[in-house]
Chains A and B, each alone.
Chain A
Amino acid sequence: MNRGRINWGKLAARLVIVGYLAFVVLPLIWLLLMSLKGPLDVMALPPKIIFKPTLENYRRLFLGTQRSQYEVARTDFPRALLNTVIVAGGATVLSLVTGVLAAYAFARFHFAGKESLAFTILSLRFAPALATLIPTYALYRRIGLYNTHIGLILISQVISMPLLIWVVRSYIESIPIECEQAALVDGYSWWGAFRIVVLPLASPGIAATSVLAFVFCWNNFIFGLFLAARQTQTLVVATLAFISYEQVLWGQMAAASVMTVIPAMAFIFMVQRWLVRGLTFGAVKA
């Protein structure tokens, strides 16, 4: 009909999106390139688009810096990576094992105080992290959980538990209840119905939510900053430590950032379809 005429609205929309994409993506590309540059190129202005890429920064990150023939400056990075895997993984598994059953109870049972209990859990998401962190610090110092993986895993429940319970609840609620009723009429107990009907149907959602919980714990900064010392330092804190008083190791810092981002990004891409519901705690069911 109006072929030949330029659709200005569409064109404007396309321009807006392309402009916004540049704003979003360019810094990330810049960071990635920075991690591949040698010490001379890294801060050169104008930034070198064409340079000799090197993996030196990554090598130093994992193997340490060769100072002289026999002396190697140690690197904390591999340990921080391991710490973060343990803490984020442990926190996710703990929330998963306990949270899915709770989500099931919230979705399918009626009991006194249900909504207020659910909202108590949700309020952990919106409360300042310091509200739990400050007393936890005092407590951990006293009972010896300061600077331990267990301590970090337990406090990380603030992040992973509300997410898991609320999102999995919304997934279970979207499964038609008739399926379970059929199983119950067939003589299964609630556990049987849960196992053969609910779990298989909700498992994609549960998996996606666990991945999201893992990434949130992975990215968390404040707990690792105040509740861990060198032995249990997390990745994000370790990355920040590349800015020291004497010098800033730009290249290594960029490499550490990339190493921190890549697992999170890989995971998030896997669950892209379920992301919106996860991010909004089941409130938006797109």
Chain B
Amino acid sequence: MLHTPLSDTGRPAPSFVLGGWGKLNSEGRRQMAEGKHGNGVRQSKQPRRRWVQRNLAYCLIAPAFLIPLALSLVGVLGNYYSLTDYDIRYGIRDYIGLANYVRAFTKDRMLWQTVWFIVRFTIIVLVAEISLGFTIALALSTVSQRLSRLARTAMMGPLCIAPVIAALMWKIAMGPVQGILNHVLVMVGLPAVNWLGDPRIAPYAVALIDVWIYTPFVVLVLNGGLQSLPRAPYEAAMLDGASAWFAFKKLTLPLLRPFLLIAVLFRACDSLNVFDIIYASTKGGPERVTTSLAGWASENAFRWYQLGYGAALVTILYIIVYAVSRRLLRLMTAGGLSE
């Protein structure tokens, strides 16, 4: 990116700072300064116009920012609610400080259970989706154009189906008696599995649904990465007689690192926040083993009307997600992908 030096006040120095000014030839810049063309400076005689022009960038983002800003403020409001005993039925009765958090950390056994679940769930789906996605992406880069295009088109399916609908579909397929999945298992001589009803299996079944929905995302990202790899290092390695494995380890993996990190970042945050697919498939059961922290918070807030406590739980989730995404973003910028 080009850089226009900022003035000491932190405000943009020239009155009309388009990123490209730095690159304009000196003739153009002189003309600009003298106000010889455009309404760049000529109109700046009117003070209001001038103010708008000086703060043009802020004026441009203001409308778009109004809404996210409002939403951020709403988030802050949520943090405030987490310090009260907000109840949907009675409203706020008292400011109770950190009592909600104390309750969450000391009395709420479900907090630890749900945190443990989302951590485990995230690790399972990350390992499964990244390894499967990487395998598919590598395979895609070796097969013919036609098959590759067909595969990428087919993968749009899980990407554009609503996650809830996908989970619903799998729930029907995973039905213990009528489900088609068990029918297939029995047909090939394996025992039927109570996919979503057995507490030992349900977390993996939900993870399987997640893998079906989101692996195409990983494939597309890594495939994009593989296609953008430079040719030259590979030719050099081949000339030096390097093995395919060596080229993969020493060239492909490091070059793909930013793409892998992007995929991990998106998938990690989404699966820590998981709510939709669990609501549609197990509703947190059986025996609450698949209740996510988001699900537990929404249950407290909306089913038991304890909005304040739900807000506290969401704040805890937010902190977890923030810490993880911060760490991943740092890794990414350290790896040289600053965009």
A contacts, CB < 8 Å to B: 9-10, 12-14, 16-17, 20-21, 23-25, 27-28, 30-31, 34, 43, 45-47, 94-95, 97-99, 101-114, 117, 120-121, 123-139, 141, 154-155, 157-158, 161-162, 165, 170, 173, 177-178, 180-181, 184-190, 192, 215, 218-222, 225-226, 236, 239-240, 243, 250, 253, 257, 260-261, 264-265, 267-269, 272, 275-276, 279-280, 282-286
A-B pairs with beta carbons under 8 Å apart, 23 shown: A12-B139, A13-B142, A13-B143, A17-B143, A20-B151, A23-B212, A102-B63, A108-B20, A109-B19, A126-B322, A126-B325, A135-B74, A135-B75, A135-B81, A139-B74, A155-B71, A165-B64, A177-B20, A185-B24, A250-B172, A272-B156, A282-B339, A284-B225
B311 contacts partner chain A, Cβ-Cβ < 8 Å: yes
In the assembled complex, the Cα of A180 lies from the Cα of B138 at a distance in Å of 40
B6 x A110 contact (CB < 8 A): yes
Residues from 1 to 51 in B contacting A, C-beta threshold 8 Å = 1-4, 6, 10-12, 16-20, 23-24, 28, 31-32, 37-40
B contacts, CB < 8 Å to A: 1-4, 6, 10-12, 16-20, 23-24, 28, 31-32, 37-40, 56-58, 60-61, 63-68, 70-72, 74-75, 77-78, 81, 86, 88, 132, 135-136, 138-140, 142-143, 147, 150-165, 168-170, 172-173, 178, 180, 183, 187, 212, 216-217, 220-221, 223-225, 227-228, 259, 262, 265-266, 269, 272-273, 275-276, 279-280, 294, 297-298, 301-302, 307, 310-311, 314-315, 317-318, 321-322, 325, 337, 339
B318 x A264 contact (CB < 8 A): no
A17 x B314 contact (CB < 8 A): no
* Chain B residues closer than 8 Å to A107, beta-carbon distance: 19
Query: Smallest CB–CB gap between B66 and chain A, Å?
Result: 8
In the assembled complex, the Cα of A174 lies from the Cα of B298 at a distance in Å of 41
Of listed A130, A261, A265, residue having the most chain B CB within 10 A: A130
In the assembled complex, the Cα of A280 lies from the Cα of B38 at a distance in Å of 37
In the assembled complex, the Cα of A70 lies from the Cα of B136 at a distance in Å of 56
In the assembled complex, the Cα of A117 lies from the Cα of B58 at a distance in Å of 11
Q: Other CB < 8 Å A-B pairs besides A21-B151, A97-B63, A107-B19, 4 of them?
A: A123-B322, A125-B269, A184-B38, A253-B168
What is the predominant secondary structure among interface residues of chain A facing chain B? helix
Query: Smallest CB–CB gap between A234 and chain B, Å?
Result: 10
B61 x A106 contact (CB < 8 A): yes
In the assembled complex, the Cα of A268 lies from the Cα of B152 at a distance in Å of 12
In the assembled complex, the Cα of A80 lies from the Cα of B217 at a distance in Å of 28
Q: Do A134 and B307 form a contact, CB below 8 Å, given A102-B61, A111-B57?
A: yes
* Chain A residues closer than 8 Å to B265, beta-carbon distance: 126
What residue of chain A has the Cβ atom nearest to residue B13's Cβ?
A110
Checking B136, B152, B161, B301 against A16 with a beta-carbon cut-off of 8 angstroms, the contacting residue is: B136
In the assembled complex, the Cα of A16 lies from the Cα of B135 at a distance in Å of 8
A31 x B162 contact (CB < 8 A): no
* Chain A residues closer than 8 Å to B75, beta-carbon distance: 127, 131-132, 135
Of listed A31, A46, A95, residue having the most chain B CB within 10 A: A31
Of listed B37, B63, B172, B294, residue having the most chain A CB within 10 A: B172
Checking A123, A260, A279, A286 against B162 with a beta-carbon cut-off of 8 angstroms, the contacting residue is: A260
B17 x A110 contact (CB < 8 A): yes
Q: Do A24 and B63 form a contact, CB below 8 Å, given A157-B71, A286-B225?
A: no
In the assembled complex, the Cα of A113 lies from the Cα of B65 at a distance in Å of 13
B37 x A14 contact (CB < 8 A): no
Query: Smallest CB–CB gap between A31 and chain B, Å?
Result: 5
A240 x B81 contact (CB < 8 A): no
In the assembled complex, the Cα of A162 lies from the Cα of B69 at a distance in Å of 12
Query: Smallest CB–CB gap between A224 and chain B, Å?
Result: 10
A265 x B157 contact (CB < 8 A): yes
B157 x A28 contact (CB < 8 A): yes
Query: Smallest CB–CB gap between A59 and chain B, Å?
Result: 21
In the assembled complex, the Cα of A192 lies from the Cα of B39 at a distance in Å of 10
What residue of chain B has the Cβ atom nearest to residue A153's Cβ?
B67
Of listed B11, B31, B32, B57, residue having the most chain A CB within 10 A: B57
Checking A14, A24, A28, A95 against B147 with a beta-carbon cut-off of 8 angstroms, the contacting residue is: A14
A131 x B318 contact (CB < 8 A): yes
* Chain B residues closer than 8 Å to A45, beta-carbon distance: 178, 180, 183
In the assembled complex, the Cα of A267 lies from the Cα of B83 at a distance in Å of 43
* Chain A residues closer than 8 Å to B170, beta-carbon distance: 27
B23 x A13 contact (CB < 8 A): no
* Chain B residues closer than 8 Å to A267, beta-carbon distance: 160
Q: Do A138 and B307 form a contact, CB below 8 Å, given A110-B3, A178-B23?
A: yes
Q: Do A131 and B315 form a contact, CB below 8 Å, given A120-B72, A138-B86?
A: yes
Checking B19, B68, B224 against A157 with a beta-carbon cut-off of 8 angstroms, the contacting residue is: B68
* Chain B residues closer than 8 Å to A126, beta-carbon distance: 265, 269, 321-322, 325
State the 7 A-B residue pairs at the shortest beta-carbon distance, nearest first. Answer: A286-B224, A102-B64, A219-B162, A109-B57, A135-B78, A13-B139, A105-B60
A17 x B307 contact (CB < 8 A): no
Query: Smallest CB–CB gap between B117 and chain A, Å?
Result: 15
B162 x A221 contact (CB < 8 A): yes
Of listed B40, B60, B136, residue having the most chain A CB within 10 A: B60
B151 x A219 contact (CB < 8 A): no
* Chain B residues closer than 8 Å to A275, beta-carbon distance: 156, 159, 220
Of listed A131, A178, A181, A286, residue having the most chain B CB within 10 A: A131
